A = this chain, B = another copy of it.
């Protein structure tokens, strides 16, 4: 019997035996909305997305970003109602499941059930990091952390060619992730650019010095990926 496993592309194929279709979405599409009771659960096969919540008066907070291999809509499947919205940052390809078959998956493929828990634990770990950032880091540290974080995430799914990465986000996204105003976000990113840590291009960000960003943020990066037990 296998020990603990990471969620590898091969397993996605396996899970695909449960799939009911495939979905292609354009950049800017809203996949799921807060309060909806969608019957679907997705796996992201390619592209970038993000999820967010809003206050009654419209203030928006981006919670996390989604990359290939991530589950989209698990909360809705498990809790019943979506408590956040999901929007595409780039063209997406998704694998669609019927969420009411999740029970079957746990029963018939306990290893995959465990993998879903593994994914949920990873998400929790990332949210923990974001909370630390919003609560206790300065604007500059927050920005440095966010870009280093996104770089590591992209690298973990093989999206980095050479040392630089182009993030498909606007400064508005950065502001709504960091909990800052767009004006102050711009001034903060400018300082990072002046230090040659990043270069901001129109509608995207080039990462120049990841370790410099991590040092500035006081962030060690994600933990080593777990090896199989015994």
Contact = CB atoms under 8 A, between A and B. Distances in A.
Interface in A46-81: 53, 55-57, 59-61, 63, 74-75, 78-81
Question: Interface residues of A toward B: which range?
Answer: 35 or more
A229 interface: yes
A103 interface: yes
Interface of A: 1, 3-4, 53, 55-57, 59-61, 63, 74-75, 78-81, 83-84, 100, 102-103, 106-107, 110-111, 113-114, 116-118, 120-125, 127-132, 134-137, 176-179, 218, 223-224, 226-227, 229
A173 B122 CA distance: 26
A83 to B, nearest CB: 5
> How many protomers of this protein does the assembly include?
2
B113 A117 contact: yes
Given A78-B118, A229-B100, A128 B53 contact: yes
The A contact surface, by secondary structure, is helix
A65 to B, nearest CB: 13
Contacts of A124: 75, 120, 123-124, 127
